Structure 1
Amino acid sequence: MSGTHRRAGLSRPFAFWLIATVQCLLLFASSAPSPLYAVYQGQWHFSAGMLTAIFAMYALTLLAALLVVGKLSDHIGRRKVLGAALVVEVVSMLLFITADGVGPLLAARAAQGLATGAATGATSSALLDLQPPHRPRLGPLVNSLAPIAGLALGALGSGLLVEYAPAPEVLVYALLLAAFALAALVTPLLPETSPGRPGAAASLVPRLAVPRRIRPLFLTVAPSLVAVWAVGGLYMSLGPSIAAHTLRLGGHLVGGLVIFAQTGSGAVGALLRRGKPPRATMTLGFAAFLIGIGTTLGALAVPSPALFFAGIVIAGYGFGTGFLGAFQTIAPLAEPDERAGLMAGMYVVCYLGFSVPAVIAGLAVQRYGLGPTTTVYSVAVMALAVVACAGLLVQGRGEKRAATAPYGGLPPAPQPARAADADHL
């Protein structure tokens, strides 16, 4: 494709919001099974370890897709990758609808992870490509807001259907199937925003495509992303069990409300902090996250459902604002033909935190119990967040000293050429 991008039938502003809706729907679908896990456990009698394995199947296949095809849309175009991902998502919805045991459920989550991972690099990059030139923070804002809002709405919507609707294990997926099929039909009408470049086959070699000049900041931010997404993974997989067994809260809707409280407050936090300085937003978010997790630990010790939900809301606010600040800090540094690779790299870090600790927690629950596992898990992510916050503060002070001492300090290092910048982690 030439440097002049081909346009299709949809305007760029409409395409921007359509892609944001698709991104939200993908994460809506990813959290929809969480309130249904209790239903599946009642039908098929599997353990907490198997529950987290089902959850992890989604996250690990998503990671594999991010590493293998996360950069592909930089080479062959956003539309092709998104269209293929939506077809796989439709297949995953069909697998959910027809699932009659743990094996088909694992297959459905695997297909869903592959679809979401493949789409993530394309949708995140397209939102940056299509954002209005006079609103350079809109793309990072929507990129951080749409996934969190999708997680919140998926958990709440599925929880409501489980509690009040007939055949919830079919209905939610049938509705999503219709939505994804429609999105797949509309995708060819989107304007293509990627200039395309050679090397599509080479881009499939798994690696984190973080340009060299961005790596120091990326590595500083990464521990914080792992910490906040690790808490998301805990409550997405074991949140309903924590509410039922530790807090003695019954009903299928409660599990959805736990996830909604966390991710919904994260979406509100991202909205409230839009337009604010990214570094301050990121630091404030991680500080709120620490306070929120400490509050939930106190609530589990009492135990107090009201205090628990208050802590979840505060931690969720920290999750949303911290993620927004990280996105606003890093995303604008990438050139257009680097965006899919960088976005995939960020989400690899996020989903490593989302999946691996949750699987470890699921195994630990079987041996040590839900309460001790939740406590140790929470303390560990708090410690990681403290280390990450300290790194951000140290780096910020170093940058401030360098900015205020242009003659006394060392001269800035020259920017590497783009050819050298192509090296990857």
Structure 2
Amino acid sequence: MPVDTLDTSSPPRRAAWKGAFPSVAAVLVLFLAASSAPSPLYVIYQQQWHFTAWVLTVVFALYVFGLLGSLLVVGALSDHLGRRPVLAAAIALEVVALVLFLVAGDVVVLSVARVLQGVATGAATTTLSATLVDLEPSRGRAGAITAVAPLTGLALGALGSGALVQFGPAPTRLVYALLVGGMLMAAIVVARLPETSLKRPGALASLRPRIAMPAHLRADIVPVVPAMIATWALAGMYLSLGPSVAAELLGLHNRLIGGVVVTLLAGTGALTVLLLRARPASSLLAPSSVVLGLGTLISLAGTTGDLAWLAALGTVVAGVGFGASVLATFGTVARVARPHERSSVFALANIISYLGNSVPAVLGGIAVTALGLRIATVIYALAIMVITFSAFALRLNQVRTQRRSPVLPTREKEAL
């Protein structure tokens, strides 16, 4: 998932123990892995508790709303209280959520667990990302980790959960028990960390969300909004309904496949981010939209034609577009926003992305309930393709307009 930009000024700090940086990176991956672990289980919950597809997608969306609220409200809190207290609270809240998953017997408890998990993940990801920057003198390395770790965690969590559901005992319990153990190890890592951020006043004031799109940035940011929406709408579809599509439409009832579906998209996206992270964001905007739309089209063709291999190929292609689009859209925001604007502008970018991640998924769930999974999947995929190719057209028009302009601001010249 996208993360906020960070204040990369280096506060005074004590020397960290050897291995602190990779350990913190592992904790970041763990949090995102925990967030995708329920995806292969949704089909089982649905069968056991007999709820509709729209309820399933609402449960998924509750996590996103908890995450978004946490990012907006407590995203900067560790700059005032210190990294360790915020991380300790996030881990404790995550453990509570995982215990609720362990004992869940109905949708209500599952929903509460997802909200708490969203809040914990939002607080943890921003603070862990800031901690990585604090620990690593070379900001390039920290930046690469914060870009790759979220998608890597999503991929590993879904794949690991699918494997445990298929081959392990207690399919709706074991994965959460193991994640609780992982969080206890994360707590040990945090306990050993030196405090890398000095306490300073303003903690209460930092809880007020700051969201803005300065007028001078609209020409740069508005054209990337459709790409943001399409990218995260596709991710929301795979994370919520992907395992159901694999089981009911492609006849792939092996529970591991539910995790593989998510992993093909998120894992390919993570690899793409790693390989393309040095490319200018402006050079990726148009190609990423085309590849995302093309991958969605191929995957849809495989799904409607009952060709699992073609659907898998389309997912991989879409994963390339997914990773490239994340770099392009958030890279554009980072490039054009001035330092004093970045926090509020990235807050807006997160709102757009997470609403794109959750609202279409819920609408898709309603469509599944009303029209059936096959028709709803076709409509969802076609909508994503329309949005992606709209993003492509907007980008081409933006470039054409910039080339005709006789005088361009420096940041626009860099985009050409």
TM-score (ref. length: structure 2): 0.87
2:308 aligned with 1:305: yes
Distance 1:391 1:126 in 2: 37
Superposed CA deviations along residues 326-372 of structure 1, whole A, max 9, x for unmatched, are: 34443466788876655544433222111111011111111111111
- In structure 1, the partner of 2:92 is 87
* Aligned partners of 1:86 and 1:184 also within 8 Å: yes
Q: For residues 360-385 of structure 1, what are the alpha-carbon distances to aligned partners after superposition, in whole Å with 9 as ceiling and x for unaligned?
A: 11111111111111111112122222
Which residue, 11, 18, 40 being the options, matches 2:23? 18
User: How do 1:33-72 residues align onto structure 2 when only pairs under 5 Å count?
Assistant: 33-72=38-77
**Alpha-carbon shift at residue 308 of structure 1 (Å):** 0.7
Deviation at 1:80, TM superposition (A): 3.0
Output the CA distance in 2 between the equivalents of 1:301 and 1:169: 30
Deviation, 1:280, is: 1.9
**Count of aligned residue pairs for this structure pair:** 403
Alignment partner, residue 158 of structure 1: 161
Return the alpha-carbon distance in structure 2 between the equivalents of residues 331 and 180 of structure 1: 32
For 1:121, the aligned partner's letter is: T
Hey, what's the Cα distance between the residues in 1 that align with 2:73 and 2:10?
27
SS at match of 1:49: helix
Q: Which moved more, 1:231-240 or 1:299-308?
A: 299-308
Aligned mates of 1:22, 1:396 — CA distance in 2: 40
Matched, 1:296 2:299: yes
Q: Deviations over 1:228-272 (max 9, x none)?
A: 111111111111111122222222122111111111111122222
Letter in 1 for 2:312: F
CA contact (8 A) 1:194 1:337 kept: no
* 8 Å Cα contact 2:98-2:176 kept in structure 1: yes
**Number of the residue aligned with 1:229:** 232
1:371 & 1:246 partners in 2: Cα distance?
A: 7
Contact 1:282/1:326, CA 8 A, preserved across alignment: yes
Distance in 1, matches of 2:131 and 2:393, equals 33
Between 1:241-250 and 1:76-85, the stretch displaced more is 76-85
Give 1:420's aligned residue: none
Question: What are the ranges of 5 or more consecutive residues in structure 1 without an aligned counterpart?
Answer: 403-407, 414-425
Structure 2 CA distance, aligned partners of 1:338 and 1:80?
27
State the distance in 2 between where 1:16 and 1:347 align.
26
Return the match for 2:179 from 176, 179, 186. Answer: 176
Aligned identity (percent) is: 46
- Once the two structures are superposed, the pairs formed by residues 176-215 of structure 1 within 5 Å of their partners are 176-194=179-197, 198-208=201-211
Which residue, 386, 390, 397 being the options, matches 1:387?
390
Deviation at residue 103 of structure 1 after TM alignment: 1.8
Is the Cα contact below 8 Å between 1:72 and 1:340 reproduced in 2? Answer: no
Superposition RMSD in Å: 2.9
SS in 2 for 1:168: coil
Aligned mates of 1:158, 1:114 — CA distance in 2: 21
In structure 2, the residue matched to 1:365 is: 368
Question: Is 1:273 aligned with 2:279?
Answer: no
Q: Which residue of 2 aligns with 1:409?
A: 407
Aligned to 1:317: 320
Distance 1:226 1:16, change over 3 A: farther
What letter matches 1:316 in structure 2? Answer: G
Give TM-score scaled by structure 1 length.
Answer: 0.85
Q: Is the 8 A contact 1:4 1:195 kept in 2?
A: no
Structure 2 Cα separation of the partners of residues 348 and 129 of structure 1: 26
Q: Could you tell me which of 30, 36, 40 is aligned with 1:31?
A: 36
Over residues 192-234 of structure 1, what are the superposed CA-to-partner deviations in whole Å (9 max), with x where a residue is unaligned? 5556654332332334266776665444333212211111111
Q: Which residue of 2 aligns with 1:349?
A: 352
Query: How far apart are 1:392 and its partner, in Å?
Result: 3.1
Give me the whole-angstrom Cα distance separating, in 2, the residues matched to 1:80 and 1:213. 38
Which residue identity lines up with residue 305 of structure 2 in the other structure?
A: V
Matched, 1:247 2:250: yes
Structure 2: distance between partners of 1:340 and 1:195: 20
1:105 to 2:103 alignment: no
The 1:410/1:294 distance shift into structure 2, 3 A limit, reads closer
More displaced 10-residue stretch of structure 1: 168-177 or 208-217? 208-217
1:201 is paired with a residue whose SS is helix
CA distance in 2, matches of 1:341, 1:24: 26
